[in-house]
Structure 1
Amino acid sequence: MPWRLLRFVTSGKHPEPQMFTHHDGLKKVYDAVIIGAGGHGLAAAYYLARDHGMTNVCVLEKGYIGGGNTGRNTTIIRSNYITPEGVQFYDTSVKLWQDLSQDFDLNLFYATRGHYTLAHTDAALRTMRWRAEVNKHCGVESEVVGPEELRREIPMMDMSCGGHAPIIGALYHAPGAIARHDAVAWGYGRGADQRGVQIHQQTEVLGIEVTAGRVSGVRTSRGFIATSKVLCAVAGSTPRILDMIGVRSPIYIHPLQAMVSEPMKPWLDPILVSGSLHVYISQSARGELVLGASLDPYELHSTRSTLDFTEGLAAHMLELFPFLSHVKIVRQWAGMADMTPDFAPIMGKTPIEGFYLDAGWGTWGFKATPVSGKTMAHTMVTDTPHPLITGFSLDRFRNYALTGEKGAASVGH
């Protein structure tokens, strides 16, 4: 048993402070209320307190910290998107990621691995070239590579994919990385907590009070809170919260499943994605293979797992890596992906004054955690959308000004 853990076992008092402060009750009034204690909600609280000095903030979570999509993703971090708005937004996030462990004084296991998006057809390869040019124009490192480089860098991969979908090239994105998802939520939560933000778990939002077109309070399972600013950052529960204020959105919810293998000795350094096979794979710091696929093809507000997903994903993985046939799967899970028609998020103001929305993240929300928190904190304080999120406004759907990230979502469709 490690000595640090043994100290807790043998001591009558905790030799180190708790990660989060326990609060007996809610205050009657807060300057801002954030619904959702996942990565995005806690990041917004952290930057509100750290960058803007707004500490009379309450974060409400009906479950537990990081128990939603933050703890149900496959931890891939990248910025190789297809629109200038998306590339600049996610590149800012990647740069923020690189300093987070130091900011939090907490090891996030952030590791730059490189990211390959495999192309199996001429059409896919054309899209990779398009993405590479957009990335380079925005100062992001991406390039198209051929089969020779793939054979050299990933010699254990079957380039023919069992003869079903031969690999003819890939988009290589050197900054591609992974991190420990739960530690991200803990780091942002602890940082906000230390600055005076109150985090209330097991506290469900039952209604939102609107007076003369402006937010005036939040009704919860533990009482009423008066506030003039509310941020909704609840991923797959977004439609339910929006119904409380009578706001419609184009968001629809699909299950997104993933699974991990038993630990293995390290053999896969880069992150691999195949849009044609609808799979992605990386190896964690503990040696587990983290595996994912596309959305389930039906709308469902549920986080259950299915055998059909496991069988389909395993079959495609064996096309790429036949030697994995004897590797055991140890667990699988699902999240609720809040999808938009143009595969870009919805961020910023809404028709209700004082109500802000951070939603529509689909399969790409984890990588945006730092930048979404920073830009939404700015938006809440100034009541003006941050320049990085002007292309993600809710009214773009009414104005037919879609952002169009579908070609960069890889396996999210």
Structure 2
Amino acid sequence: MLQHGLSGADWPVTFRSHPKRDSYDVVIVGGGVHGLATAYYLAANHGIRNVAVLEKSYIGSGGSGRNTAILRSNYLTPEGVRFYDRSVKLYEHLAAELNFNVMFSQRGHLTLAHNDASLRTMRWRTEVNKLQGVDSEVIGPDEVKKLVPYLDTSSTTRYPVLGALYHPPGGIIRHDAVVWGYARGADAHGVHIHQKTEVVGIDVEGGRVTGVRTDDGHRIATPVVVNCTAGWSTLISDMAGVSMPVQTFPLQAAVTEPVKPFLDTVIVSGTLHVYVSQTDRGELVFGASVDPFASYSTRGSLEFAEGVAGHVLELMPALSKMRLLRQWAGLCDMTPDYSPIMGPTPVGGFYVDVGWGTYGFKAGPVSGEAMADCIANERPPEIISAFGLDRFEAGRLVGEKGAAAVGH
């Protein structure tokens, strides 16, 4: 970095810029991990290379760059567990596949139990996980203390730790590296990535998609449009005349000054509505529950900073001298059953990969793989068959609210 800065040399090009074509076989709206992964797997797995990814800002500027980059697969329903387990497995080998270091640190994930009810739920979740081949177990306070020595597990604390759901495959990753890795991989297969290109309209004729219109006045003809946006998913779907049962809420996070590494696992407390991890640079990353009011705001609040700091200190009082450096917010699209909406819609050629709530980044690789399969074969693969838009009308909900790391 110093050499490039002093010499004025250009950085190597990760992906190329192209003029917009008048037509593409597939247009993907959204340049985050879901959109880029879908483009990559369309090209790499199915040979569909005449693909455009349209991003209104820069790649990874939305939810993919604003999450806390925690990975896990210890979900609540069999459908969810299978789905996220596939994603973790793809993440494990992603650096080798893309030839790009995504810095996956598989360090384990602890969900703390502060009461008997939480312990009972964790035991049930453990059995669901084990039936799907996912490594999870309930451990006691002594084992928790061995994993996290700085955690206050004394019986006199306000929120005593009675045990935890331990999920060894969980960990953290560098979200920007994942985005750039998929972008480079997609570009190498001939995909066009257009940044600073906002979709302002979707053309539908005879019940089928025929093209998209962008903010620079360009019209792109295409038989397939894929909505891979977060925060703005209802706005894009409305352009195609498809209504989505989605509400958008901000989700805030914060990061501290860097310190010597001491936290080897991811810690989650549903009771305290907080989760904590430490990056490879030494910062502590804090997250909490979504804001209580629907909004498109990505601003932080003092109320959040005070609340999350207090909750972290309940768990680890030794951190009282640490300083917060910055905070931010991302946008979460929440569905009624807290599961995503994936696959085709009543409008021919219009596909959706939306409604991820707080789970979106964890699912990036498997979502891209499954959506590419769905588009190439014109039918949803089994792994996403439960997440179709029609489930709400049919009453086939996939309730994942209880699997959230913190309360919604």
TM-score normalised over the length of structure 1: 0.96
Correspondent of 1:408 among 397, 403, 407: 403
Whole-angstrom CA distance in 2 between matches of 1:43 and 1:280 = 27
Map of 2:335 onto structure 1: 340
Q: CA deviation at 1:164?
A: 2.2
Q: CA deviation at 1:161?
A: 8.7
Q: CA deviation digits over 1:74-131, x for unaligned, max 9? A: 0000000011100000111111001111112211111111000011111111110111
1:235 alignment partner, SS class: coil
Contact residue 60 and residue 201 of structure 1 kept, 8 A: yes
Contact residue 343 and residue 352 of structure 2 kept, 8 A: yes
2:112 alignment partner, SS class: strand
Alpha carbons of structure 1 residues 161 and 376: separation in structure 2 relative to 1, 3 Å? farther
Map of 2:84 onto structure 1: 90
Amino acid in the other structure paired with 1:314: A
Contact residue 252 and residue 328 of structure 2 kept, 8 A: yes
1:318-329 pair list within 5 angstroms: 318-329=313-324
Map of 2:96 onto structure 1: 102
Contact residue 147 and residue 264 of structure 2 kept, 8 A: no
Whole-angstrom CA distance in 2 between matches of 1:349 and 1:75 = 28
Contact residue 280 and residue 292 of structure 1 kept, 8 A: yes
Whole-angstrom CA distance in 2 between matches of 1:30 and 1:338 = 28
Contact residue 161 and residue 320 of structure 1 kept, 8 A: no
Q: Which portions of structure 1, spanning 4 or more consecutive aligned residues, are displaced by more than 6 angstroms?
A: none
Q: CA deviation digits over 1:185-241, x for unaligned, max 9? A: 000001101111000000010110011111000011130000000100111100111
2:368 alignment partner, SS class: helix
Alpha carbons of structure 1 residues 46 and 162: separation in structure 2 relative to 1, 3 Å? farther
Unaligned runs of 5+ in 2: none
Map of 2:256 onto structure 1: 261
Identity of aligned residues (%): 57
Contact residue 337 and residue 362 of structure 1 kept, 8 A: yes
**2:210 is equivalent to residue 216 of structure 1:** yes
Map of 1:301 onto structure 2: 296
Map of 1:374 onto structure 2: 369
Unaligned runs of 5+ in 1: none
Correspondent of 2:47 among 35, 53, 68: 53
1:273 alignment partner, SS class: strand
**2:32 is equivalent to residue 34 of structure 1:** no
Map of 1:248 onto structure 2: 243
Q: CA deviation digits over 1:44-81, x for unaligned, max 9? A: 00000100111100000001000000000000000000
2:367 alignment partner, SS class: helix
1:351-362 pair list within 5 angstroms: 351-362=346-357
Contact residue 65 and residue 176 of structure 2 kept, 8 A: yes
Q: CA deviation at 1:302?
A: 1.4
**2:209 is equivalent to residue 199 of structure 1:** no
Contact residue 110 and residue 164 of structure 2 kept, 8 A: yes
Contact residue 206 and residue 219 of structure 1 kept, 8 A: yes
1:298 alignment partner, SS class: coil
Whole-angstrom CA distance in 2 between matches of 1:193 and 1:129 = 45
**2:319 is equivalent to residue 349 of structure 1:** no
Map of 2:7 onto structure 1: 9
Contact residue 161 and residue 319 of structure 1 kept, 8 A: no
1:393-404 pair list within 5 angstroms: 393-404=388-399
Correspondent of 1:275 among 263, 270, 277: 270
Whole-angstrom CA distance in 1 between matches of 2:53 and 2:25 = 11
Map of 2:162 onto structure 1: 168
Whole-angstrom CA distance in 1 between matches of 2:155 and 2:346 = 49
Whole-angstrom CA distance in 1 between matches of 2:314 and 2:182 = 39
2:64 alignment partner, SS class: helix
Whole-angstrom CA distance in 2 between matches of 1:96 and 1:366 = 13
Most deviating of 181-190 and 99-108: 99-108
Q: CA deviation digits over 1:149-175, x for unaligned, max 9? A: 112221211125973221111100000
Q: CA deviation at 1:412?
A: 4.7
Contact residue 41 and residue 372 of structure 2 kept, 8 A: yes
Correspondent of 1:44 among 15, 38, 43: 38
Most deviating of 159-168 and 323-332: 159-168
